[in-house]
Amino acid sequence: MAVSAVVGATVLPLGVAAPAHAAAFKKADNGARIAAVKWLNKGKTAFDFTVQSPSLGKKQNVRVLLPKGWKYKSRQSWPVVYAYHGGRDNWKSWTRSTDIQTLSRKWGVMVVMPEGANGSYTNWYNKGKGGRPKWEDFHLREVRQLVERNYHAGGSRAVMGISSGAQGACTYPGRAPGMFRYAACFSGVLSMSSPGIPALLMYTNSGNGVDPTLIWGDPVFDRANWDAHDPIKLLPRMRSTRFYVSAGTTGKPGPFDKPDMPPWDIGLMSERAIGPTVKDFAARAKQLRVPITAHIYGNGRHSWPYWKREMHTAWPQMMKTIGAKRR
């Protein structure tokens, strides 16, 4: 008979899934801890866990997909893909909108999908005072340390994201050089200082109900902080990371869109604005001899069908780079 234990409100078999209670999990360096765990399927291949986060001052969720052969009581570690969602979405988005769960099970890889809310994948500037929310610390320190110390996530890491999550995925390797071997960034702003882009970012973030200058500061007066989080400016620090970047550029409907879609559709307008920043990032990376593959596909909307396609295109090289084997 299997022995069980309660973690939060969830019954988990001991020796397979988790320690006997939440307090038995190892904490992150800053005291972040796992407060609850919930399995998502009978096969116990996917679960959510809740982090009590000092960096955010609240609880936030993380979704994890496990590889075949994973066991809680094991000394084996696994290559990891950290997958970031876009604005006005949540940690469930990748499993809701793509077949990442089916895809990842074909490989010896763990997938970790943390909440990002509308935090712009940065520690907020807060008019130069810093403080919460510290999304960069939540992702790169708390979540990473918790999955490494409790769930056998290894040190061979890739990161990918869509939209604002893509901006995060192409920023974090420069903020923490050497942490990620591979970064796949689908339709993200990769040059924050390009013409019109500061205004676009400020406008987008103001729609989230916050003062947008709290995030990176004022784009003119606090330019140094913007530059410190600008993917294209961070490229000299990212030579140890291999990149895959993609975006549309024309603002016209593509193969997954209705052909009569109006040009003022926000998804088309977004891709038309973002695409040139991706082209600039790719060109600069090649100048600096940073390994990169770019797919600038022209027509297409800022939407999941394109990001799912790009994920499948980038996936084999991503797996090769982090040493994940096909199962």
Q: Could you read off the pLDDT of 24-57 as tens digits, one per residue? A: 899 999 999 999 999 999 999 999 999 999 999 9
pLDDT computed for residue 2 by the predictor = 34
pLDDT computed for residue 19 by the predictor = 53
Region of poorest pLDDT, from 30-34, 39-43, 156-160, 163-167: 39-43
For residue 222, give every residue at least 6 positions away whose Cβ sits within 8 Å of its Cβ, in sequence order, or none.
Answer: 125, 128, 213, 216
The yes-or-no verdict on residue 295 having pLDDT over 80 is yes
Structure tokens at 148: 């490494």
Cα radius of gyration rounded to whole Å, the chain: 20
pLDDT computed for residue 308 by the predictor = 98
The whole-angstrom separation of Cα 64 and Cα 84 is 12
Question: Span 14-25, mean pLDDT?
Answer: 58
The yes-or-no verdict on residue 269 having pLDDT over 50 is yes
Question: Span 289-303, mean pLDDT?
Answer: 98
Which of 141, 157, 192 minimizes the C-alpha distance to 171? 192
Give how far the C-alpha of residue 229 lies from the chain's centroid of Cα atoms, to the nearest Å: 15
Region of poorest pLDDT, from 3-7, 91-95, 141-145, 280-284: 3-7
Does residue 242 come out as left (phi exceeding 0), alpha (psi in the -120 to 50 range) or beta?
beta
The yes-or-no verdict on residue 13 having pLDDT over 90 is no
Terminal CA-CA length for the chain: 30
Question: Span 218-245, mean pLDDT?
Answer: 98
**33-64 exposure pattern, b = at least 16 Cβ within 10 A, e = fewer:** bbbbbbbbeeeebbbbbbbbbbbbeeebbbbb
**184-223 exposure pattern, b = at least 16 Cβ within 10 A, e = fewer:** bbbbbbbbbebeebbebbbebbeeeeeebbebbbebeebb
The whole-angstrom separation of Cα 117 and Cα 40 is 21
The yes-or-no verdict on residue 289 having pLDDT over 50 is yes
Question: Span 123-141, mean pLDDT?
Answer: 98
The position carrying tokens 């769930």 is 151
pLDDT computed for residue 21 by the predictor = 63
The position carrying tokens 């297409």 is 300
- pLDDT band at 104, cuts 50/70/90? very high
- pLDDT band at 23, cuts 50/70/90? confident
The yes-or-no verdict on residue 9 having pLDDT over 50 is no
The whole-angstrom separation of Cα 148 and Cα 145 is 5
